[in-house]
Structure 1
Amino acid sequence: MFKRRRAPEFDNIDTVIANQVLIKGRLVAEGSARIDGRVEGEVDIKGDVVLGEKGYIQGNIKASNLLIGGKIEGNVITSGRTEILATGEVVGDIAADILVIEEGAIFSGTSKMVREQRTKRNEPKSKAAAAST
């Protein structure tokens, strides 16, 4: 009856910020990223992001999909899915199409559902497109 949406795959990682790395400033990347270190500043990733259990972001983050095992102190914006694992913590606001919070996770902020992808899928076809079908 109900179809469960498939979770994004986080296997293809283009950029890795290792455990002992500290980045101060803006982090921008086109592909996917895994952050196990510390970022103090804005994070803007066009692909998916995995924040490992020891990962920490102090600043706002934008990504396609986000899997949070570490801590974020800042606002989160994703066009797809944001998932806070049991080890994860977010202190800030979240705007996402899908928000999943596991038992044991910490979320202190507000959430807003962003329906951009769903709206585009559900838009009626134009009259010309409808006439040709």
Structure 2
Amino acid sequence: MSFGFNRGKTYGRKDAVSLIGEASQFHGDLHSPSDIRVEGEFHGLLHAAGEVAIGERGAVYSTDLRARELVVAGRLEGCVEAEGCVRITPTGRVMGTVRSASLIIEPGAVFHGTSVMFVPGEDAAPSTVMI
């Protein structure tokens, strides 16, 4: 199931954005060929070909979140895999496992879990850092 808001763009295109609005709750699996923004609450599997952004009031509880990039300004609990960068902003809280090419934890952010860094395109075993 996917939904989005139209900014003069066609649904299903890579430049569309799916939104889970503030005060909304979503339970289930969500697959998107584009970006996803979570301002409400999400529980389940979340896969996006683009960026996933969790707003300051947003919360994601996922055993399998996959995205090209991830920005967390709200709360995230679970397992994350990003092809590129995972960025936790000063208001962000992440509890779980993050597997990504890079991880940015800004001052004031909270990260409690495991970070597994990898170089895109390499098959070598990633190193694990406990924080």
Q: TM-score range by the shorter chain?
A: 0.7 to 0.9
Counterpart for residue 21 of structure 1: 24
CA contact (8 A) 1:82 1:100 kept: yes
Alignment match, 2:80: 76
Alignment deviations for residues 58-79 of structure 1 (CA, whole Å, 9 cap, x no partner): 1131100001001011011100
Letter in 1 for 2:96: G
- 1:67 aligned to 2:66? no
Gaps of 5+ in 1: 1-11, 121-133
In structure 1, what is the equivalent of residue 11 of structure 2? none
More strand by share: 2
Letter in 1 for 2:60: I
Shift of 1:103: 0.8
Matched residue, 1:35: 38
Contact 1:13 1:34 in 2 (8 A): no
Identify which of 113, 116, 126 aligns with 1:109. 113
Distance 1:68 1:56 in 2: 9
Is the contact between residue 67 and residue 82 of structure 1 (CA under 8 Å) also seen in structure 2? yes
Shift of 1:13: 5.4
Percent identity of the aligned residues?
31
**Aligned residue number for residue 57 of structure 2:** 54
Alignment match of 2:96 (pick from 86, 92, 95)? 92
> 1:129 corresponds to which residue?
none
Equivalent pair of 1:28/1:43 in contact (CA under 8 Å):
yes
Give, as a single letter, the amino acid of the residue that structure 1 aligns with 2:67: A
d(CA) in 2 for partners of 1:40, 1:64: 20
Q: How many residues of Structure 1 are paired with residues of Structure 2 in the alignment?
A: 108
- Supply the AA of the counterpart residue of 2:71: L
Q: Pairwise CA RMSD of aligned residues?
A: 1.5
Q: TM-score, normalised by structure 1?
A: 0.77
User: Where in structure 1 do 4 or more consecutive aligned residues deviate above 2 Å?
Assistant: none
What is the TM-score of this pair, normalised by structure 2? Answer: 0.78
